[in-house]
Copies of this chain bind each other. A is one copy, B any other.
Amino acid sequence: MYSFACDYLEGCHEEVLKALCQTNLEQTPGYGADRFTKAATEKIRQLCRDDAAAVYFVNGGTQANQLVIDTMLQPYEGVVAAQSGHVNVHEAGAIEFSGHKVLAIPSARHDGKLAAADADAFVKAFYADPNHEHMVFPGMVYISHPTEYGTLYTAQELRELSAVCRRHHMSLYLDGARLVYGLAAYGTDVTLSLLDELCDVFYIGGTKAGALNGEAIVFPRGAEPPHFLTRIKQHGALSAKGRLIGTQFAALLENDLYFRIGRHAIDMAREIRKIFQDAGCRFYLDSPTNQQFVILENESLRKLSAWVGFEFWEPYDAAHAVVRFASSWATTPAGIAELRKAVALCLPRK
């Protein structure tokens, strides 16, 4: 049964695998001092148009989030995030494990985005409170792009968030677990070099973008926390064979592979979207990226799940639920065809 349950169902892109095979027996030093990691770093600098960018590679997203937030914050600071932010909900308390509070901002909107105005109001209220020295200082704004709901910030929205952060001496951190699908979306005006300009730190996701594992943390203009390698080790996040991730990123960033991967997934997501639109389904929100959130009747959901894989997201009302279909670099036209057939079979004609 073909599955759209998430975007990390397969191994890695064949170009990535080829690179691993070709370099496998070369001897290299450990801990990221190898030539592949250096090459990957260089390519990221070029894409970011930032020769001084400091780049570090870690295994996964929660690890990147814990490490970045803990090392960029002062110990008396917390991280401002949308209530629905991954760090607030789905990381098993990894941020608090390292001693920091997530300052969650309830958003009236269900699109997972944190508005600059909301962040600004929160921080202003904090400093206006005469008791704020008894409270957790807001030291960073965390956003994900695409968000947990597949939505995207515009360049203008990012500029505003960045301005709020700079005004209040907070850092801006962008979680790019699915950044590949954000950069490749139709109509977006966000680029890597814009992120490098506006953020204090961000990561470029590899695990969901064609790699077996790995995320690239970027500190624009070289502004990394002191002794960052030691901090990585202290967090249990330093790979002996740093080459594993370095080689994969070097391959991903060669010949535009990374962007081709993203565009492929976006096009597949459009196919998914069209299938459900044609079936008369509503969407939970309008996502321009690889995750599509469809509202299904409970009975249709039950039927469909026998034919194709997807993820239950949350109840919508008594009779409906939100489900997620995710495309990825690996989604095949054959998979899309199976989905089309299954939907025709299981969903009522409208």
- Which size bracket describes the interface of A in this complex? 35 or more
What copy number does this chain have within its complex? Answer: 4
> Mask for A2-42, Cβ within 8 A of B = 1, else 0?
11011011111010010011011111111000000000000
Return chain B residues, CB-CB under 8 Å to A239.
59-60, 213
B89 in contact with A25 (CB, 8 Å): no
Contact with A240, one of B8, B99, B230, B233 (Cβ below 8 angstroms) = B8
A137 in contact with B236 (CB, 8 Å): no
Q: Please report the C-alpha to C-alpha distance between residue A96 and residue B89 in the assembled complex, in whole angstroms.
A: 15
Taking each of A17, A74, A93, which has the highest tally of chain B beta carbons within 10 Å of its own beta carbon? A93
B17 in contact with A233 (CB, 8 Å): no
Q: Please report the C-alpha to C-alpha distance between residue A234 and residue B59 in the assembled complex, in whole angstroms.
A: 14
Determine chain A's interface SS by DSSP, over half rule.
loop
From residue A83, how far is it (CB to closest CB) to chain B in Å? 9
Contact with A25, one of B10, B91, B100, B137 (Cβ below 8 angstroms) = B10
A75 in contact with B236 (CB, 8 Å): no
Residue of B whose beta carbon sits closest to that of A24:
B11
Residue of B whose beta carbon sits closest to that of A227:
B76
> Mask for A235-260, Cβ within 8 A of B = 1, else 0?
11111110110000000000000000
Comparing A101-109, A160-168, A342-350, the segment that makes contact with chain B is: A101-109
B-binding residues in A (CB < 8 A): 2-3, 5-6, 8-12, 14, 17, 20-21, 23-30, 59-63, 65-67, 70-71, 74-76, 78, 89-102, 104, 106, 130-131, 133-137, 207-208, 212-213, 226-227, 229-231, 233-241, 243-244, 309, 312, 330
